[in-house]
Chain A
Amino acid sequence: MLHAAVLRSPYASARVASLDLGPALAAPGVRGAIGPDDLEDLTREPGYPGAPVAAVAADTPGRARRAVEAIAVEWRAAEPLLDPDDAVRRGELLCEPERYQRGDVERALAEADVVVEAEYRTATVLHNALETHQSVCVWEDDKLTVYTSTQWIWGVRDDVATRLGIPGDRVRVVCRYMGGGFGAKTEPGDYTFMAIELARRTGRPVRCALSRREENLATGNRHATIQRLRAGARSDGTVVALDGEFTMAVGWDGFASSTAGPMKLLYGCENVRTAEYGAKLNTGPNAAFRAPGFVEGTFGLECLLDELAARLELDPLELRRRNHADRDLVDDRPFSAKNLLECYRRAEPHWARRESLRAGSEGPWKRGVGLASQIWYGGGGPPSYAWVRVGSDGRVQVVTGGQDIGTGTNTVLAQIAAEELALPLDRVRVAVGDSERGPYAAISAGSSTTPSMGPAVRTAAADAAQQILEIAAQRCEVEERALSLEDGRVVSADGRSWPIEEIMNLLGAAQILGRGSRGPNPTGMRVMTFGIQVAEVAVDVETGEVRVERIAAIHDVGRVVNPLGASSQVEGGIIQGLGHTLSEQRLLDPESGAVLTQTLDAYKLPTVADVPEIVTELIDIPDPHLTSLGAKGLGEPPIIPTAAAIANAIRDATGADVRSLPITREEMLRALKEARERDRALAGSTG
């Protein structure tokens, strides 16, 4: 196997004046080298630091890297565009501005008793999955195998086949296990195409595995946002208008995340107007990142709601209750199921800790409690297929061409099949992660794996169960409707029963194959997930230190299949959200656009010492309209309200309005100073 290394632009904006791969090809151990003329992913006009320009395949990773250093290249650097507001002013947009309106916002604001207005900012944050982006590509004659770290083996298969102009069945994609994606691994990626081309040229397998630095330059990010928001309300707490202008620092490529989504969907507000601008900048392309847009938009909206509650002198939880959205007002249709009010009810005891907690403030440490609501998709959808194979030994294999991206999918699918077949869990094995060894399955993104793949497995298991009963009826001469599966046995209404393996054994080497597919989502309904988080913080008002002490997370995601796995998902989401709230940010040199935080000492993910007590409560009511399973996804909901809940707790503790993520020491101290000056001015005007 050969190892690839990539020549990347050191400049945010540049032109390659000349490029000579000769010295690289002459370097020891080098078997192939490609440049912009050989592959569309390689460019002569890099638009961000880390943009790939050329790639080399060599016997060892070290030799490949040294060969890349030997490439003769002349750069012509240009001044980068880095400021998103500046880009919007200049019309440097990646897409048409996204505008939405319902009702009459201006009139509603004019008639409102109270109007609040604020600007919120969120920083660019980096995925930093434990496993970096990587692929091993192998050509055998005209057939290509791609071993890759991906959230969607079928998507990779189809994208690769389309690009190469070959039939999909000549591409096999394998991903048995992977070390995290968080949204950034939904496509083949340039590294895969480099490995494919180098493997084709050299006739050997080629591995292209990115380093942590490359990961943090060129594989995506959650783009920064600037949110200029207004809300108007009547004195009784009815929110009558929501108005938002969102500027997204998307980067050189990618998409503008739907940061306005929560403003459109979360509350039953009649008058809403949003405008979203996706700025094209000389920074790394963004990628989906765990609830893209909604994490950022919820921070702005839910902080604004608390500022509104303060002006209205209304309890923040009560304000949210009074503005509950009974329907989806964007498409004017009912929700398939919604238990957000039940989430709010179960938040009450956590919220009620507020008074005693605030009383626990001592010295410079001020304590407070904050909450934030959550809405997100998570219903999944068709198509997805699964096979359930029951052997003559009564053991079961679930086969599907999906993938477990580290979220516990294998366990969930085994549970579903085991329940349907009334077998103990250890009799069920799950085989995923190979496009040639299972039927099509959906992407593992958008909190959709369980709701998309789960029903297909359930249907397949039911099909297999039915076949077992048919055989038992035939062989044991019992009427089929008198039979059922219980505790690993075929049970007859007349009291007799047989172990499933005994029935299966009657067939010799034959197997039962159950087939299942994912049916459609309910028509005329909006399937969403909901929740609320209550955060408790302590703030050292002299040093700006913020400690998150406890977060209670109450989420409504339909039926919960695996409670332990589900609470792990909630904890993971909250911890990742905590990082985005307090310490993580991609920092750029303001002049050159160079990424200063490429390594994990400079880019600060939370450590285990930062993790608060996390209390997870799931409503666990199956969605009666959603599939035979009634389950929605949980990958994304828990990261959505964390930042706003923490920021609102900080306001509760200190009176300071933190409006910019991450809430570093300097942001906290800035907000505290602003609050002191505001209080002084207020005291002066009333005194």
Chain B
Amino acid sequence: MTNPLPRVVAALAAIVVLNDSAYIIAEWEQAVVTQFGRPVGSPVVDAGLHFKLPFIQRVRRFEKRILNWDGYPNQIPTKDKKYIMVDTTARWRVVDPLLFLQTVQNEAGARMRLDGILDAATRDTISSHNLVEAVRNSNKILDDLKAAAKAGRDAAPGGEDEVVGEIDAVGVGRESLSGMIIERGKAGLKEFGIELIDVQLRHISYETSVEAKVYERMISERQRIAQKIRSVGLGERSKIQGKISKDLQKIESEAYREAQNIQGQADAKAIRIYAQAMNADPSFYEFVRTLEAYKKGIPSGTKLILSTDNRFLDLMRKR
């Protein structure tokens, strides 16, 4: 209780020493302890409180979580000589912090390696395949078309039969291209203590100078489709007009046939009836009918010249 100074100094020293020997590793961290630059022991991967020798040992922390790599959009020619911009992203993780520390030091160093390796892998993969392989993942379109053709649907007018040009079959597909890039990348990155989780083709687009040409092609394609649709419409109209003519003639002629048939049968029946009745005395019928015909056949305003020979005038003559 004389002088508190030594105690205070001792306490402060203890605090400083403790502060430098204890360290906390969070769940998302891992660390390598180095002693004058030389790694000591195995990497610390468990979260929690850890101890080291103060002052002479240093803790180097690394991420345990998934990290992102964002590729610079690259202009790459495909196998079929189409220039496209390919934008890739990747996910990676430090799996061997010691190796990571030794080979690339830190994330910035890792990024440089990733740039080199993944850009090359992407370039190699894209340029050894046709454009469709990078755009489409499956032959769904072709399958759909086939199914539609089987169902006979594309014969229907106004259907969604809007495919122009031929759809090339896909042999590899987008996902498999990603897979190839991953395989190539993985091999190269292993020696840096990096695990490549995946590579995604985030964006594939036509190169700006090609874009205008592509748009022109799209326009002409659409115009072709529009023309086809229009003429299908005109064709349909002609079909219907033809049907009108056909149906009309059918209806009219059938009616005519039936009418004639009915009338003919009636006439025949009438003839039979007349014949049956008249056969009883044909000469009398002829006589009566002739008289009737005279009456009807000679109208009233007629000027008539009779010969005296006329039977009607018999009595006149005989006098």
Q: Decide if A and B are genuine partners.
A: no
B residues within 8 Å of A by Cβ? none
A residues within 8 Å of B by Cβ? none
